[in-house]
Structure 1
Amino acid sequence: MMKTTSIIASLLILSATTFAQSWTVDKVHSRLGYGVTHMGISESEGSFKDYTAKITSSKEDFSDAVVELTANVASINTENEQRDGHLKSPDFFDAAKYPTLTFKSTSFKKVGDKQYKVTGDLTLHGVTKPVTLDVVLNGTTTNPMSKKTVAGFKITGTIKRADFGVAAGMPTAMLGDEVAIRANTEFIKD
């Protein structure tokens, strides 16, 4: 009986791993961006150019997905070289001391047709905090050029820069505390 139970358990583990799908971000067709209010009258936007992201899921609807992302903080780009340099400095992200930001999901829950809530641990500026973001699965298709399966996602949410100690000395009248996260991504099935 013990041997049969072990064989069944092994087969269940094997079948679960056999059907796991890995997806890697296609950076050519993706953007990892943010926006923050400047002086209460406009929104300053930026993005990270150097990042990796992976999704692993055993279900086709992604309802059990695990998301992992790492971004190089020094790759921040606001289309202004002087501002980018200031953002990399100790006044803001302190890229020399905290060179990466990471996100690893702890849950990926389906909340509607093609709508999800992803919760995970965001590490930014040396601080790790749980965050929850909204995800829309735009769909999956086969790329006619590469013949590979691709999936498109739109991710949105809000974090507070004060929670992570970013620009702690900057008054909110100058720079808003709430930072809008906006990512439009395509992932290629490995």
Structure 2
Amino acid sequence: MTVWNIDASHTNVGFSVKHMMISKVKGSFSGFTGAIEGDPENLETANVSFTVDMNTIHTSNEDRDNHLRSADFFDTETFPEMTFVSTKIEKTDDDEYDLTGDLTIKGVTKQVTFEVEYEGKGVNPWGQEVVAFSAEGKIDRKEFGLTWNQALETGGFLVGDTIKISIELEANPAQEG
């Protein structure tokens, strides 16, 4: 069975969340590893795993990033990683799948499903095969113990509960030896 490693330099792990109930704040993580074990052109029999370094969060605001790393949110000192391990993959259409697995954030594991699209296969300028995927999903942050919030004078809360996750990734076959 072929192992395809995530190419971090050509992958983006991003998220968005409502801010003050009216706008969205977007962010990303720059440190992660992952692998697809199996045939990327037929994910139904594959195993997918992903690990994100929570200390690499970036929202274009250093104070907010530091707050997100604190015990109020991710508590990266105690829980430095977020992980995902697939448990079931179902084909839903040509090149489209529902990827279900165990997502662990801050020591809490919940089953989540991502909608995945196989974007294709090619050969890079150095002669190496490359596959690409897009994935989208959403979680309720409170289910993972991410409950910090602040009430607004005008009603509502500072941070929304639903986190939208989007991943654009490339992967290359693992090198033998």
The code of the aligned residue for 1:153 comes to F
TM-score, L = length of structure 1: 0.85
The code of the aligned residue for 2:163 comes to V
The runs of 4+ residues in structure 1 deviating greater than 3 Å are none
Q: CA deviation at 1:169?
A: 3.1
Q: Which among 42, 54, 58 is matched to residue 77 of structure 1?
A: 58
Structure 2 match to 1:158: 138
Structure 1: how far apart are the matches of 2:41 and 2:115? 19
Q: CA deviation at 1:59?
A: 6.8
Structure 1: how far apart are the matches of 2:126 and 2:44? 26
Structure 2 match to 1:149: 129
Q: Which among 33, 38, 56 is matched to residue 52 of structure 1?
A: 33
The answer to whether structure 1 residue 188 and structure 2 residue 172 are counterparts is yes
CA RMSD of aligned residues (A): 1.3
Cα deviation per residue 1:86-129 (whole Å; 9 max; x = unaligned)? 11011111111111110000012111000000000000011001
Cα deviation per residue 1:58-105 (whole Å; 9 max; x = unaligned)? 474222111111111111111221111111011111111111110000
Structure 2 match to 1:109: 90
| Structure 2 unaligned blocks of 5 or more | 151-155
TM-score, L = length of structure 2: 0.91
The answer on whether the counterparts of 1:139 and 1:153 sit within 8 Å (CA) in structure 2 is yes
Query: SS where residue 49 of structure 2 aligns?
Result: strand
Which protein is bigger by CA-based radius of gyration? 1
The answer to whether structure 1 residue 174 and structure 2 residue 158 are counterparts is yes
Cα deviation per residue 1:115-151 (whole Å; 9 max; x = unaligned)? 00000000001100110110000111111x1211111
Structure 2: how far apart are the matches of 1:59 and 1:180? 24
Change (3 A) 1:169 1:185: same
